[in-house]
Structures are given as structure tokens and as C-alpha cells.
Homo-oligomer: A and B are copies of this chain.
Amino acid sequence: MSKRIVIVGGGYVGLYAALRLQQRLRSGEAQVTVVNPENFMVYRPLLPEVASGTLEPRHAVVPLRAVLSGTRFVAGRLTGVDTQRRVASVAPEAGPELELEYDELVLGMGAMSKLLPIPGLAECGIGFNSLAEAVHLRDHVLRQLEIASATSDPELRRCALTFVFVGGGYTGVEALAELQDMAVDVLEGYPEIDASEMRWVLVEAMDRILTTVSEDLAARAVSELRGRGIDVRLSTQLESAEDGLVRLNDGDSFRASTLVWVAGTKPPPLVKELGLPTDQRGRIVVDETMRVEGHPDIWAAGDCAAVPDLQKGGVCPPTAQYAVRQARRLGDNIAQRLRGGELKPFHYKSKGEFVTLGMNKAVGEMLGRKVHGRFAWTARRAYYATQIPTWNRTIRVLGDWLVGMPFGHDVVNLDSREEPRGAFQEAAGRRA
């Protein structure tokens, strides 16, 4: 009988494992089902460019149904796993729960923001993990410029023009750098605002940023950011953010309408409830073939799993580069297991990394060499454009870049915050 492989999560792990299985499996050998709440995967390295408007949101995503043509797709959210009966329970967006039986189960559930118990953070912070957050942040920043230029209240104006990012990993640095670059660029449309009135602050608890690249490249990034007037505060922590009043542990405090929290992630809460072994950070414990300890028919990889790093020791870093390679190895290992073959451990050494700092600005390491400036930025674009799955997306991404080149950043804020049915409620007289 054909085996049933259920893959939970449509991120890097889910997508690339399913793609690998599509290649490896003979027709009829197994039925692969991918479960994900959305029918797309966000190509995360492009999120900062979505936030700065250089890329259309839809072009930074991979349509799972189009890519996974031989694979069943179910739009839903995992609610639990019965490891005895080998059943994954899935809640679709509407209607009764589904029970998906499996012979092999793959967990690629990713990670979510890890908040610290800082007063006010939950009320006014926003993360930078999803497409909705990136699009919102772009609209939000542009909206602050509108608020500042329309108001006659100087305190509101200062507050609207202050943007705080907590976390100097590459997510925070890229998001801040791209958005600040955009904001400076669009200011020519706001004659009422002077660039010096904007205040961009990067708060990092450690004494350096970008721990995934070498120290001198990180230092170069800091001086590039500072050269643009960005207030980079190393060895500094957020103490509170009540009612928009940001207090730092260096004694400084100021009002800010924008607080982006990008200081760490954690596996989603469901992981804990599955009854699988987890490490002290809540990640699923797997062996070097990515099988879950004590559960030979369950696999996990990516940010939700603690995959041993056989090159450097410890656990693999939670980056896209590692997740993609883990997923491919995982796919191969499942194919091997179905045929009684030998499982292989996950071995990978990072090829380098790029950090975008805005249009034509980046730092990075590729193949052991340090690069920066326009060259690094172009190399980064070329790399990601060719890595995003399907030609359709590659062409659309290149098209956005090409068409955007002569025009610079765009000032339109589409107000994604608006309730689409609000206008109708208003027409019905339900709203003032």
C-alpha cells in the first residue's frame, strides 16, 4: 500500500522536503500531504524589501499549490498529533477538524517572536516575521509621515517621527536599514518634514550586531548605519514601553509611535503540547538524521527543531540557508526509510551571508570573502532572485526591481490596516 507522508508547515522545511520527495519517490510509492494555514510560503530574505516597497508583497511569496503539483495541499492548522494512532489533527479555516493518518510525519513549524516581560511591549510592539507584519510596517511608517506632516502638535510630530527597533540580528538590521532608506527617499514628497527631524534607533543588548557575520563586517554595518544618522545603541536594553514611552536601561527615554521587536524567536506553543522531547529552548530534539528522539516515524527540522551541527558543534543556526539543506536531506532520508535504505546525517557548512542595508548598500560574506557596498547588494539580489522557487517568481522579482530602478521608493501607503468590510458597515449606518 502507498505510504502516507504528512508534512506540517509550508515554510522552507515543508516546501523543500516536499519538493525533494516529489523528485525522489516513484509514482504511487507514497502520498505526500502538506498542511499549512496559508497557501503560500513567504520567501523570508525578501521581507525587508517588501517593507521598503521595492518588491510587491505577492512576488516575495511562493504559491505552494503551484509548486507542489504532485502533492496534496490542505489549508489548515495542526492542533495535535496522536503518536499511537499515527494521526495528525488539523483545523481547517472552516468546518469540522480533519484527521490525517500518517506513516511518516514531518514537523517544520518554524518559530514566532519571543517576547520578554517588558511593560508595554505586548501593547505597542510589532514583530517582523510575516508578510502581514512587513506590509503593515511599511504602511505604518508612511502613515507616521502623514501624521507628522498634518499635525500642529509638536509632541505628536516628534513621537510620529521616532522609530525604534529592538534587536541587532540580521532581521532587525535589515528591516531598520531598508525602512529608514525608504523614509529618507520619500521625504521629498513631504516638504513639511526635514530629514533631521526623523529619529531611527537600533537597540541591541550585546556589544555587537549581526553575530552571524564576522566582527569587522558587523562594525562596518554599524558605521554605515551611524553615518546615515541612525542611533545605534549597543549593550543597551529596552526597559519599558508603556503608552509609547520608550525607556532604555542607559537612562534615556523618549516617545515613539513605532516599536519593532526583533530580539529573538521561539517555537510555536503547540510544539510543547505534542509530547515530543524538547530542549531547554523548546525546540524538538532530533538526531543528526533529523528523526525525533524515540519516534522513528516523526521528523523535524528548521527553526522548531534542534538539529545537531556536525560542522561547528552545537545546534544549527535558525537560518533559511540551513533549513533548506536540512529539508533536502530530510526528504532523502524519508525516501531511504521507505525503501529500507540507510539514513544519512545532516552535514552543512554555511556558504556565507548577506545583509541588506537599503538600496545599493549591503555587507556580506561569500565563499570566505568579505564584500560590501553596491557589489554586495547586487550579489545579494542576484542570489535571492535565482533562489526563489519557480521561474514565475524569479521573473516577477526581477521585473519589480527593473521597473522600480528609475523611480526610487514609492510613497503610497495602502492602509492595509483598514477593515475591508468597514466601508460597508458604514454604508449600513453601523458606524458614525
Contacts and interface: CB of A to CB of B under 8 A. Distances in A.
Interface of A: 38-40, 53, 56-58, 61, 63, 65-66, 69, 73-76, 92-96, 98, 112-115, 121-122, 125-127, 129-133, 135-137, 142-143, 146-147, 149-153, 156, 160, 189-190, 261, 266, 392, 395-396, 399, 402-403, 407, 410-428, 430
19 contacts: A39-B146, A53-B58, A57-B414, A65-B189, A65-B411, A75-B150, A94-B151, A95-B150, A95-B151, A95-B152, A98-B150, A113-B424, A113-B427, A122-B425, A122-B428, A132-B422, A396-B403, A416-B416, A417-B420
A75 B427 contact: no
A115 B428 contact: yes
Q: Is the interface of A mostly helix, strand, loop or mixed?
A: mixed
Given A156-B95, A421-B136, A61 B395 contact: no
Contact of A132 (B39, B69, B418): B418
What are the 7 closest A-B residue pairs judged by CB atoms, nearest first?
A: A136-B420, A122-B428, A75-B146, A65-B189, A95-B151, A92-B150, A113-B427
Given A57-B414, A93-B150, A96-B152, A125 B65 contact: no
Contact of A420 (B61, B63, B112, B132): B132
Contact of A112 (B115, B153, B189, B427): B427
A135 B114 CA distance: 31
A49 to B, nearest CB: 14
Contacts of A146: 39, 75, 92-93
A420 B126 contact: yes
Given A412-B39, A412-B58, A424 B96 contact: no
Given A156-B95, A410-B63, A129 B423 contact: yes
Nearest to A97: B152
A423 B112 contact: yes
A340 B176 CA distance: 53
Contacts of A412: 39-40, 58, 61, 63
A127 B424 contact: yes
A94 B156 contact: yes
Nearest to A390: B407
Q: Which of A57, A129, A266 has the most CB of B within 10 A?
A: A57
A160 B93 CA distance: 11
Q: Which of A137, A403, A419 has the most CB of B within 10 A?
A: A403
A75 B149 CA distance: 8
A329 to B, nearest CB: 28
Contact of A150 (B63, B74, B129, B411): B74
A114 B427 CA distance: 6
A401 to B, nearest CB: 11
